[in-house]
Chains A and B, each alone.
Chain A
Amino acid sequence: MSVNHTSSKQMIKPQARNRIRPKDKYTLFLMALPFLALAFVFSYLPLYGWIYAFYDYRPGIPLSKSEFMGFDWFTSMVSNEVQRQEVMRVLRNTFAISTLNILTSVLPVVFAVFLAELRSAKFKKLVQTLTTLPNFISWVLVYSFAFMLFSVNNGFINHFLMDLGWISEPLNVLASDDHTWLSMTLWSVWKGLGWGAIMYIAAIMSIDQEIYEAARVDGAGRFRLMWHVTIPGIMPTFFVLLLLSIGNFINNGMEQFYVFQNAMNMHNIEVLDLYVYNIGMTNSNFGFATAVSLLKSLVSLFLLFVANSMSKVIRGESIF
């Protein structure tokens, strides 16, 4: 076996797979059919609900008796000057935090690559297991933990820094708007680092050891091995995930921001998902919520296709 078996170039030879009996393609399709049917039932069937975006829908009352709204829900977000400013602010936050998230998505890669360099298998396993712990703690608990750390009154970071004499006044980190984007990103890195690395660890594990041997015989040092063998081995996975996360650019989720939001940081923490929740869900305004989710779906799909075509142009391959 030689290097190019596991290198990323391998996967761009679809023609090689074309040796196939003509009838087989229908057989293959039939084998996939039950699963496609499941996807249709659970993902496509409910889409009829998008029609609610055009009504003042109230659960239980049939659409025929609901008020038709046209595109009112879509335009309501930008109906006046103050509204428009709000939406611009929210989009700015969304873009900032998504960009930071995409930038930090290389951290799990780095984590996995360096983890592979640990020599003690026991220690490696231990690190691998324990660093996934934060992933299992819900954001609600994360916040109560953060409060324990950073509160002015009992927070031990403040106590600690004041005991050291580094600060004279306690800091109120949670009620501050300094570096909100950055601190939100740090929290999510902390929570997702070990977990996100699992996939890359799996990818590294499946790299052919002989490639390392061969490269080592050629006199490659540690860092060259990392750069020329390990990294290319996990690139396909990384790029797939990157493309997918570009599709999710406007979906930050809301749980994290919901638990950390307060009057002081509201200006910078309110991402689109949180904004919609704050303004729509507390009233159970399903028409509005559907309108937003419809818009978001379209934007996401658009972004995904753009990213995919760009990847085709730049890297010569795409995920679909």
Chain B
Amino acid sequence: MPIKEKFTLFHFVNYAVFAIITLICVFPFYYLFINTISNNDLSSRGLVMFYPKDIHWTNYTDVFRIPGLGQAALVSAGRTVLGTILTVAASAFLGYLFTKQMWGRSFWYRFLIITMYFNAGLIPWYLTMLQLGLTNNFWAYILPAIVQPFFIILVKTFVESTPLALQESAQIDGAGYFTIFAKIIFPLITPILATIAIFSAVTQWNSFTDTLFLITDQNLFTLQFILYRYMNEATSIAQLMKQSSGAMMDLSNMATPTSIQTTVSMVVVLPILLVYPFFQRFFVKGIMIGAVKG
């Protein structure tokens, strides 16, 4: 990095502004967290605001006792790891291919891009998945996610901004497309691949609509789905109230306490936060290669 500069007013302001932005972003999270470890009675009455009161961890122990949580964590982790690897590999490869003169390149490129802008609707999608045998099937999480036009665009844009000379020299040396891709392009575009990996991992981890509609086998439930179930209880109760002309039941007993709902959402977010710094390393690595390549 640059030679040492003085700590100027610019730096001061810059640091201050980022500190404030960070605080604003962290506070809600912090707020939710202190509410999960505070006395449930106080927190449900809205009395916990800035610091925890009567700290306890029973919410967390309760959440870890939710049946099927371990299995769900496994499924979530599985789909995230496998899905991300395949998506990143496919995006990198396709993004690269589309910088080459392949047969009908611009047609196929558009063929992929426009899929981002149309949507067949829920039922046709569901019936297609059903026909493909992708209901109650782990691959339902993976296969549809492999080709992501958005990521392909990102890679293509990125590859196009890398020095062409390297590829050309390799090509002259007789290297095939795979070799050029693996040996030259791949290392050059690590930062964008890391970005894609983060995006895709988070999408996989957070996704629950596929579980909602495609999965009824509880061995394939994901963490997000369990969270969704809890978060949605209030809506569900409201829905029941709308459906039922009269015949109301003792609904106040049916709802899961807010404390548990919040705790589940904490538990679901934490793994991402733990993994994120790991990806950040690849950002730095990108610089190194960038520096070396000249």
Chain A contacts to B: CB under 8 angstroms: 1, 5-6, 8, 10-11, 13, 16-20, 24-29, 31-32, 35-36, 38-39, 41-50, 52, 57, 59, 111, 114-115, 117-119, 123, 125-138, 140-142, 145, 148, 154, 156, 190, 193-194, 198-199, 201-203, 205-210, 212, 216, 222, 236-237, 240, 244, 247-248, 286, 289-290, 293, 296-297, 300-301, 304, 319-320
Contacts and interface: CB of A to CB of B under 8 A. Distances in A.
| 9 closest A-B pairs by CB | A49-B124, A28-B102, A46-B120, A297-B118, A11-B160, A43-B115, A1-B294, A46-B124, A202-B191
Q: Name the prevailing secondary structure of the B interface residues.
A: helix
B246 interface: no
Given A11-B161, A59-B123, A205-B283, A136 B143 contact: no
B213 interface: no
Given A5-B163, A125-B280, A198-B195, A205 B269 contact: no
Interface stretch (B7-15, B67-75, B248-256): B7-15
Contacts, number: 271
Contacts of B98: 32
A52 B25 CA distance: 43
23 contacts: A10-B161, A11-B161, A13-B164, A31-B93, A31-B102, A32-B102, A35-B94, A43-B115, A44-B115, A47-B120, A48-B124, A118-B15, A129-B273, A145-B32, A202-B192, A205-B286, A207-B290, A222-B10, A240-B157, A293-B120, A304-B114, A320-B106, A320-B109
B114 A301 contact: yes
Interface stretch (B55-63, B146-154, B215-223): B146-154
A282 to B, nearest CB: 9
Given A13-B164, A49-B123, A304-B117, A205 B284 contact: yes
Interface in B121-141: 121-125, 127-128, 132
Interface residues of B, number: 98
Contact of B231 (A6, A47, A140, A208): A140
B100 to A, nearest CB: 5
Nearest to A36: B108
Given A32-B102, A32-B108, A206-B191, A127 B18 contact: yes
